[in-house]
Chains A and B, each alone.
Chain A
Amino acid sequence: MNMQTGTAANMRNATGTQAPLIAFDRVMKVYGHGDAEVRALDGVSFEINRGEFVAIMGASGSGKSTTLNILGCLDVPSAGSYRFMGAAVETLDRAQRAMLRQRYLGFVFQGFNLLKRTTALENVELPMIYMGLSARERRKRAREALAKVGLADRENHSSSELSGGQQQRVAIARALVTNPAVILADEPTGNLDSQRSHEIMRLFSDLNQRLKITILLVTHEEDIAAYAPRHMRFKDGRIASDETRA
């Protein structure tokens, strides 16, 4: 474990020009057996460098969430290889992958996924609890993160007392607070109206440009994807197009 994260940490400290942050090499993901077999991913290869902002698009069932789950070390490929910060994720066990999520990955979900009956501040502190940070450090960093998403005045509101847009900001603060290398967002604006969606996207854009956080974001909508310079389109478990705006 230590060796693996050590490798990853070294990669992170290196200039990073030679090794991409993320590298998918002919990744396959198969669900079920025999007649019920579904090829959710059918040989997907791509690389993503540090600091990129990528929109992942495609029809329903094309494999976007599957890709994001594997990227987030929540799942492993059935075949092929996924290298994250130089480490072959498919060789890691559950605990090691949990460690990668804890240290280097932040998640934002369509359904916000905040803990109920828990204040904004406590929600943002949660990942730091598992990192073993002190209560004082947690509180300080959670406040900073909430300030970054513009919710400094909502610290002690519980999630049920916040609007959808505000809940998603808390979720972004929670993803942000551990200083992750990558934020993965699966349809983060799917439950928001157009105005809130654009507010959230401006926030992502800002985090990417000012804090240089790598962001991978799944969306169905072109105007949401437009915030990202790079667009990857999936079709039937393969990459149909991968374009970066000049």
Chain B
Amino acid sequence: MYWTIIQLSLRELRANKMRTILTALGIIIGVMAVIILVTLGNGFTAQITKEFEGIGQNLIFVSPDSNNGPNRARVVPFDMRDVDAIRRGVPGIEFVAPSNGSGGRVVYGNVNHDTVVIGSTNEYFKVRLWVFEMGREFTEGELAAGKPVCIIGKTVRDTLFGAQNPLGLKIRVENVSCEVIGLLAPKGQTTFGNDEDDRILMPLRTYQRRIVGNSDVATIQVAVANGQDAQAVIDGLRSLLRQRRSVPEGEPDNFSIDQVSAFLGEVQNVLGIMTMFVGAIAFVSLIVGGIGIMNIMLVSVTERTREIGIRLAIGAQQKDVLWQFLIEAMILGLLGGIAGIVIGLGLSVLITGLMGVPFIPSIGIIVFAAVFSALFGIVFGFFPALRASRLNPIEALRYE
């Protein structure tokens, strides 16, 4: 019996293709919007997460800071003694990479290029997960003596040398003539538009002596050893540095400690909320689509008054008519939902492809969209269906 009514509904929908498509259009667009926005949100989140993992999951940044009371103006920098003290005095650490850096100009032949110049140690490559495409790390001797050698990123190489093998070539970094000893494998652009490959590295001591002329360390990057508690490391760093920098009890730190994974968590949170928010707006358009079904079903009931009269006269019960219209509305919703899912996923593949973001469809949201489109069909189809079933057969038959 119900199967027969489903067939009746399908026949009615098939016989009026244009009306069917127009009615379902609202749901199609609503579902499409939900799918695309949530898929894009997922893609961005995954992309950014990957970038953070590229930086190093358990990385702690320590930098000097001025946010304490009396000597606010002066930021007391770190130096190598602080770094050594951390190496010796804080347990649970795998690497400590001191660095200092600034914008700087490099010159090769008649080519100038403005880039980021960083002085650091070999630990820098480990904590930031840099891989060498060619060449080598710094030697102990180069590090200790502050030799003029440098390791370049791919963008610097491309700009200065083109396809030429850069190893052994001399470039001028600010006022220092430097030999290129290594080339880093490219990491590409970040979501925020930074070119990670536009950088040049030299031994920290070289940078300190030849470029800036001091012995400051601007940032200390600390990689937490596998299986160690990052919070314990942070606590160790804090008490050690407070003591070394003579911060009195009760005063705030004059340095800051930031953890990448914590920051990542926050970013993921924000992105998650944004995805939900945008998805919710799209969901509203799904509701509007449901109301569209109700409108057209109401028109359709009026248009089909005589048909309903015929059905009632020849023995249809009210509930038969109710079910026919309800099932019609549900099928409309479901068809709209399925079409919306297919089109939405198709467009998501296209858009993520164009934006270079991974395509991550969420089964949850697909099921959600399918269920809600059918549900909205029923909810918004109920009133028109009820109205159809309550028609007076005599008046319905007389309706022109």
Give chain A's interface residues, CB within 8 Å of chain B. 69, 72, 74-75, 94-95, 98-99, 101-103, 106-107, 109, 113-118, 122, 126-127, 129-132, 135, 174-175, 178
Contacts and interface: CB of A to CB of B under 8 A. Distances in A.
Interface stretch (B112-120, B291-299, B306-314, B349-357): B306-314
18 contacts: A95-B318, A98-B312, A98-B316, A101-B313, A102-B315, A103-B315, A113-B309, A113-B397, A118-B11, A126-B311, A129-B4, A129-B8, A130-B315, A130-B316, A130-B320, A131-B315, A132-B1, A178-B315
Contacts of B316: 98, 102, 130
Contacts of B319: 95
A115 B394 CA distance: 17
Nearest to A102: B315
Given A109-B397, A113-B306, A115-B310, A95 B315 contact: no
Contacts, number: 61
Contacts of A103: 315
Interface band, chain B: 20 to 34
A38 B220 CA distance: 99
Contact of B318 (A72, A94, A107, A126): A94
B314 A101 contact: yes
Given A113-B310, A115-B307, A127 B397 contact: no
Interface string B14-52: 010000000000000000000000000000000000000
A178 to B, nearest CB: 7
B159 interface: no
Contacts of A127: 314-315
A74 B313 contact: yes
Q: Which of B319, B393, B394 has the most CB of A within 10 A?
A: B393
Contacts of A132: 1
Contacts of A69: 394
Nearest to B5: A129
A114 B317 CA distance: 18
B314 A107 contact: yes
Contacts of B311: 126, 130
Interface of B: 1, 4-5, 8, 11, 15, 306-307, 309-320, 393-394, 397
For the complex of A and B, 4 pairs with smallest distance between CB atoms: A102-B315, A127-B314, A117-B15, A130-B315
A48 B314 CA distance: 22
A174 B358 CA distance: 60
B282 to A, nearest CB: 36
A109 B396 CA distance: 13
Contact of A72 (B5, B11, B15, B313): B313
A131 B311 CA distance: 12
Contacts of B317: 95, 98-99, 130
A107 to B, nearest CB: 5
Contacts of A95: 317-319
B393 A74 contact: yes
Contacts of B314: 101-102, 106-107, 126-127, 130, 174-175
Q: Which of A95, A126, A130, A174 has the most CB of B within 10 A?
A: A130
Contacts of B318: 94-95, 98
Contacts of A109: 397
A171 to B, nearest CB: 10
A85 B83 CA distance: 106
A113 B8 CA distance: 17
Contacts of B307: 115-116
B19 to A, nearest CB: 12
Contacts of B8: 129
Contacts of B312: 98
A98 B315 contact: yes
